[in-house]
A and B are shown apart, each in its own frame.
Chain A
Amino acid sequence: MNDESDLLATIAQGVVHLDVAVVRTSVESAVREGISPFRIVAEGLSQGMRTVGALFRDGELFMPEVLVACDTYYAGLQLVQPLIEKDNGRIAKGKIVLGTIHGDIHTVGKDVAIPVFRAAGFDVVDLGTDVADEAFVEAVRQHQPDIVGLGTYMTSTFMHTNQTVEALERAGLRGQVKVICGGPAVDVRAALKLGADGATDNAWEGVQIMEAWMAEVRE
């Protein structure tokens, strides 16, 4: 391994070991060494998140560690984000606007989903929590995403998925986006009945679903 690879591996390991200090220092070093911000994200921070996903899947890491790994990822991302925004060469896999359904203020799912989606190469517009249907409509008009993500922690707020979907339909925007539901209360069949295109309670599975949708669009 050369120095660049070592540095990127250190960043990835920092994310896995929940070590904010190591991640920050290594990202700063990588920037100084002239490594492209896109590589720092793709081969450092995002590689770390992929490893976290694999360890979570295998039962070696659990939700608390995953949440803090996401924060660690963000700590590094903050340092390179301004540089990435100047980098016109990056092509995102797709754009998603994502928020927690009106009435639901839990962020535990969204806090994991957003970094995992970003690490996988999606542009994510975070609308926050307790997002009104009209705010989703406005965000679709403004950001022109490929996908709308509806987060919900509770069954009673998940049951309002159809109202958000209907708001998109009334605005004439439903045809231009896929809708995915996420959170521990979601059920795939119910999500489809409620007008969404898919659902999952696992952010890494969400990436697979969205990648398949984007592949369909490109075909």
Chain B
Amino acid sequence: MSVVDSWVQRLRGTLRPIGEMTHWQRLAAALDLHPTDLVPVAPELDYWQITHAGYSHQEIYNDVDKTTDACLRTWADLRCDAIWMYVDISHQIENFLPAERRAAHFVHRGPKDYLLFKPLVETLDEAIALYESRAFEKHLADSRAVTHYTPHMLQLLEFQEKMDRQVPVIVGAASPINYAETIVEVQRLVRWTITESEDKVRHYLELCLAERLEALDFYRDVAAANGCQFFCVFGGARTWGPRQLEKFGDVDRRFVDKVREIFPYVFWHHCGHNLPQALELLATWPGIKGVQYDQPYHSQKLSWSEFYEITARLFSGRRCAMNAPTTQVACYGTPGEITQMVRQFIEATVPHTSAVVMPGCEIDSYAPVENVRAMIDAARTMA
């Protein structure tokens, strides 16, 4: 029996209801800015769930069934309002590399450590050449995007459909600017936005955008066609200032223009120190229903409650606010601290807009399960 059928057989008809809505209805309603029975809770458990299910990251690296098993086992245990796919950086950039160069670019430090990586090229000319040669296409066939990511995604979507859409699977893809940063390492692109000619930087970003728009055809034909409706855009430009956003930010917006034609529930992942201007932009770009935001920018001297409230007011009537606790507190804090942060977030947010309990970035493999349970319990026990 397949891993999906095994879990469907175990769970179908046996799950106790949580609240009055299904998980799918709850998350969809929040993203539509409609009332929900409970505040949805959907932490990004993509690689935390691997170790929670008892696997090491090395063990699942080439094993699609174990990867999917980890996600479904974790969902059955915690009953969050969404299932996040497992994703790692090799899914994103391995297809830019010939097979013989891949081992040098990806590093498994330890059984609980997320996959580490090295930049593919170091200069803007090299980055442009990489895209102009369509390296991503040449090396795609045997890359993990094809051998691991796609079959894993399809298994989770099969589970979603066979469970009658009780719980949505969240599929995600990186934005063009996120790619532009990852290919060369973020610190290089950030510098080039100032030190290189605007035309040359834009040319690079346009190449990244073209590749991403082509990739969306895959998401339309494979993900959406198999039932995916909830789509996370992993945004870039997280260390940019207002000048960079003004000059080049439209590249990510144009990507969203196509995403929204494919998926009804699109939200934006914006981790790091969030520049106020970036949050304002995300509040206006058409097609984004929610923003998974993170910490206030360095210069904003705000308490968490103040930041939650400012963001909720900014999003009022326009966006669902997705946050709490911080990924740091989720990993290093106590269950009591996590409960308090989640409650502060909900109390500050729901008077203004809908809320989803979802830390600004992925839950680290080292986060204790008690902390993840505290986050879920806090959301479930607040009306």
Residues of chain A lying within 8 A (CB to CB) of residue B333: 189
A187 & B328 in contact (Cβ 8 Å cutoff):
yes
A56 & B299 in contact (Cβ 8 Å cutoff):
yes
A190 & B328 in contact (Cβ 8 Å cutoff):
yes
Is B202 part of the contact surface with A, judged by Cβ < 8 Å? no
Residues of chain B lying within 8 A (CB to CB) of residue A61: 241
Residues of chain A lying within 8 A (CB to CB) of residue B329: 187
Given A156-B114, A156-B364, are A107 and B187 neighbors across the interface (CB < 8 Å)? yes
Given A106-B186, A190-B328, A190-B332, are A65 and B239 neighbors across the interface (CB < 8 Å)? no
Min distance, Cβ A207 to any Cβ of chain B, angstroms: 15
Is B275 part of the contact surface with A, judged by Cβ < 8 Å? yes
Min distance, Cβ A36 to any Cβ of chain B, angstroms: 31
Given A102-B109, A103-B109, A111-B187, are A185 and B328 neighbors across the interface (CB < 8 Å)? yes
A68 & B113 in contact (Cβ 8 Å cutoff):
no
Is A125 part of the contact surface with B, judged by Cβ < 8 Å? no
B194 & A59 in contact (Cβ 8 Å cutoff):
no
Min distance, Cβ B368 to any Cβ of chain A, angstroms: 12
Residues in chain B within 8 A of chain A (CB atoms): 107, 109, 112-114, 116-119, 185-187, 190-191, 193-195, 239-244, 272-273, 275, 297-300, 327-329, 331-333, 364-366
Given A56-B298, A59-B299, A65-B241, are A190 and B190 neighbors across the interface (CB < 8 Å)? no
Residues of chain A lying within 8 A (CB to CB) of residue B118: 105
Given A65-B194, A156-B113, are A57 and B332 neighbors across the interface (CB < 8 Å)? no
Is A208 part of the contact surface with B, judged by Cβ < 8 Å? no
Is A175 part of the contact surface with B, judged by Cβ < 8 Å? no
Residues in chain A within 8 A of chain B (CB atoms): 18, 56-59, 61-65, 67-68, 71, 102-108, 111, 154-157, 159-160, 184-187, 189-190, 193, 201-202
> CA of A187 to CA of B240 in the docked complex: distance in angstroms?
22
Residues of chain A lying within 8 A (CB to CB) of residue B243: 62, 64
Residues of chain B lying within 8 A (CB to CB) of residue A202: 298
Min distance, Cβ B155 to any Cβ of chain A, angstroms: 25
Which of B186, B195, B327 lies in contact with A68, CB distance below 8 A?
B195
> CA of A121 to CA of B3 in the docked complex: distance in angstroms?
60
Residues of chain A lying within 8 A (CB to CB) of residue B109: 102-103, 156-157, 160
Which of A56, A103, A107, A159 lies in contact with B366, CB distance below 8 A?
A159
Residues of chain A lying within 8 A (CB to CB) of residue B116: 103-105, 154, 156-157
> CA of A154 to CA of B332 in the docked complex: distance in angstroms?
14
Closest to A59 in B: B299
Min distance, Cβ A184 to any Cβ of chain B, angstroms: 6
B190 & A64 in contact (Cβ 8 Å cutoff):
yes
Q: A104-B116, A201-B298 are in contact. List 4 more A-B contacts (CB 8 A).
A: A56-B298, A64-B194, A108-B187, A108-B239
Residues of chain B lying within 8 A (CB to CB) of residue A63: 190, 239-241
Given A59-B300, A67-B187, A202-B298, are A154 and B114 neighbors across the interface (CB < 8 Å)? yes
Given A102-B109, A108-B186, A155-B327, are A64 and B298 neighbors across the interface (CB < 8 Å)? no
Residues of chain A lying within 8 A (CB to CB) of residue B113: 103, 156-157
Residues of chain B lying within 8 A (CB to CB) of residue A159: 331, 364, 366
A71 & B191 in contact (Cβ 8 Å cutoff):
yes
Residues of chain B lying within 8 A (CB to CB) of residue A59: 297, 299-300
> CA of A159 to CA of B241 in the docked complex: distance in angstroms?
29
A156 & B185 in contact (Cβ 8 Å cutoff):
no
Residues of chain A lying within 8 A (CB to CB) of residue B187: 67, 106-108, 111
Q: Max chain B CB contacts within 10 Å: which of A61, A65, A155, A160?
A: A155
Q: Max chain B CB contacts within 10 Å: which of A57, A107, A157, A184?
A: A184
Residues of chain A lying within 8 A (CB to CB) of residue B364: 155-156, 159
Which of B114, B117, B190, B328 lies in contact with A108, CB distance below 8 A?
B190
B365 & A62 in contact (Cβ 8 Å cutoff):
no
> CA of A189 to CA of B297 in the docked complex: distance in angstroms?
20
Min distance, Cβ A136 to any Cβ of chain B, angstroms: 16
